[in-house]
Structure 1
Amino acid sequence: MGLRKWRILSSRMVVDNQWCKVRQDEIELPNGKIVDDYFINIRLDVALILPITCDREIVFVRQYRHGAGEILLELPAGTFDNQIEDPQVAALRELREETGYTAKTAIPLGILYDNPVKDSNKIHLFLATDVKKLGQQELDSTEEIEVVLVPVSKVLEKIASNEINVAGTVSAIFMGLNYLNNVQSSHQN
């Protein structure tokens, strides 16, 4: 017998706020055990973009993240403006709003689960090349963001030294650099 999904017996919202939604499920495990207090964070999907300039610099944002209690260096990202916004549109919008940089297109790199144990959302990863600074930041009232350019040649050092340590950002960097290496290899053959 293979793996089976858990069966939801009942669900109720225990926190239903604009910024935080938590659902409590009563579930039955495949072995028959009942768990009556499994909590799921209901979160919107996120669009995250790896923007690389013509000068081979990655456009990062540095900002305080209260959940971690740290100032972190990460890639531009954010939730969709609404449930039907296209992930690519959201990624390009977040790039423009958080950094003032723009790109014509964003290449899909993949979709990751953020924290599949307790969270419902996914991270949609994109790569944009030849990004250009064309405007100013358009920050929300709760955002204070510093734009930081890091040469592509230095980014792996920053991951190794733990200066870049946000999971979605690290994943997008490896996936994006792998994509670019594969494109470059295919053009050389």
Structure 2
Amino acid sequence: MSGDSDDDLAWETLDSDIDYSCPGFDVRRDDVRLPDGTETDFHYVDEPPAVVILPFTPDGDVVLVEEWRQAVGRVNRGLPAGGVEDDDADLAAAARRELREETGYEAESVERFHAVEPANGFANSVHHYFLARGCTPSETADLDLDFNESIRPVTADYARFRDAVFAGNVRDGRAVLGVSMYEHAHGERDAD
């Protein structure tokens, strides 16, 4: 396990095993020794890296997904995203694949602009954010959804979507974080 093992806050991992496995993630149990010598266990969600795409059409609209989210019991409007697969050549390839599978759009270019650990108190996930430009509907790609996905791709005016994010009307954490990071890094530069 990576980390700063020289830090006096570091835990020592004594053993590690998967307690539960399902499509998309595992629940892992680590047997650990705390800095004060106490031995205990710690459970967390163990999942592969993910890509999150902020896709723009040539006209500046944003391509979004409306998706049923069982955990909150409603349709969620957010950014296309998905796990990195073993056969993905690199993260950019995964971003292109997820965009195509979830929206039917192809990107002229993709550029990684940030990475975060969105819930590192209980999950080891890392989300890699990509900016996709020149996104147009593919003539050959139909949606290729996972068995447990119910998704409807839509396009929206980016400024309206951004305003909805900042007004608190978009609740999807990946979308809120992606738009916020994009605005911080690109907003002023792209406005010129």
Q: How far did residue 182 of structure 1 move?
A: 4.9
Q: Matched residues in 1 for 2:187 and 2:133: separation?
A: 13
**Which residue in 2 is equivalent to 1:107?**
111
User: Secondary structure of 2:56's match?
Assistant: strand
State the one-letter code of the partner of 1:114. Answer: P
Q: Does 1:92 align with 2:96?
A: yes
CA RMSD of aligned residues (A): 2.3
Q: Matched residues in 2 for 1:67 and 1:85: separation?
A: 31
Q: Against the structure 1 CA distance between its residues 130 and 84, is the aligned structure 2 distance closer, same or farther, given a 3 Å change threshold? A: closer
Q: Matched residues in 2 for 1:2 and 1:138: separation?
A: 45
**Which residue in 2 is equivalent to 1:168?**
174
Q: Matched residues in 2 for 1:83 and 1:119: separation?
A: 23
Stretch moving more, 116-125 or 11-20: 11-20
Task: From 8, 14, 17, give the equivalent of 2:19.
Answer: 14
**Which residue in 1 is equivalent to 2:159?**
153
**Which residue in 2 is equivalent to 1:78?**
82
Q: Matched residues in 2 for 1:137 and 1:37: separation?
A: 41
Stretch moving more, 140-149 or 60-69: 140-149
CA deviations over 1:114-161 (Å, ceiling 9, x no partner): 310111110010001221122432323332211122212112331144
Task: From 175, 179, 184, give the equivalent of 2:185.
Answer: 179
> Unaligned 5+ residue runs, structure 1?
none
Q: How far did residue 181 of structure 1 move?
A: 2.8
**Which residue in 2 is equivalent to 1:126?**
130
Alignment: residue pair count: 185
Q: Matched residues in 2 for 1:100 and 1:84: separation?
A: 18
CA contact (8 A) 2:109 2:134 kept: no
User: Secondary structure of 1:125's match?
Assistant: strand
TM-score normalised by length of structure 2: 0.85
State the one-letter code of the partner of 1:14. Answer: D
CA contact (8 A) 2:165 2:179 kept: no
CA deviations over 1:10-38 (Å, ceiling 9, x no partner): 2222123444411112222223333x231
Q: Does 1:66 align with 2:66?
A: no
Q: Matched residues in 1 for 2:144 and 2:88: separation?
A: 22
Q: Against the structure 1 CA distance between its residues 163 and 85, is the aligned structure 2 distance closer, same or farther, given a 3 Å change threshold? A: farther
CA contact (8 A) 1:109 1:172 kept: no
Q: Matched residues in 1 for 2:103 and 2:9: separation?
A: 44
CA contact (8 A) 2:102 2:145 kept: yes
